[in-house]
Structure 1
Amino acid sequence: MLPVEQLLVAHVISIRSENRIKLPDAIFWATAKSHQALLVTRNTEYFPEDQADIRIPYRI
């Protein structure tokens, strides 16, 4: 097993409580947040486009 950073866990919990999103997707988003990076995805079903830290590649 790999150790999981507390900050990553806190982000996952926050994301899941605010959005109807599956755990793996929340982990992707939380990983980007914990590294202060943008999440670039085409999955607009689970990732809200209006979030400052999410980019849709064909809408940049």
Structure 2
Amino acid sequence: MALKYDYTRLLVRDFAACYRFYRDVVGLSPSFGTEDDNYAEFVTGATRISLFDAAEMAAAVGS
């Protein structure tokens, strides 16, 4: 069985700034979410990068 790496999730403190960085500086097109959300995905060929607000993740897992 061959492993396939296709997804990275980054927990970020300043979601809107990170969203703009990946969209405007890196040049990725968002496939889900906006800078006003707390979750977004960017497709980079065969892989995806997602951004998730770190405070939202902490609340979701209770820490």
Bigger relative CO (Cα 8 Å, ≥ 6 apart): 2
TM-score normalized by structure 2?
0.29
TM-score normalized by structure 1?
0.30
User: Quick check: which one's helix share is greater?
Assistant: 1
User: Quick check: which one's strand share is greater?
Assistant: 2
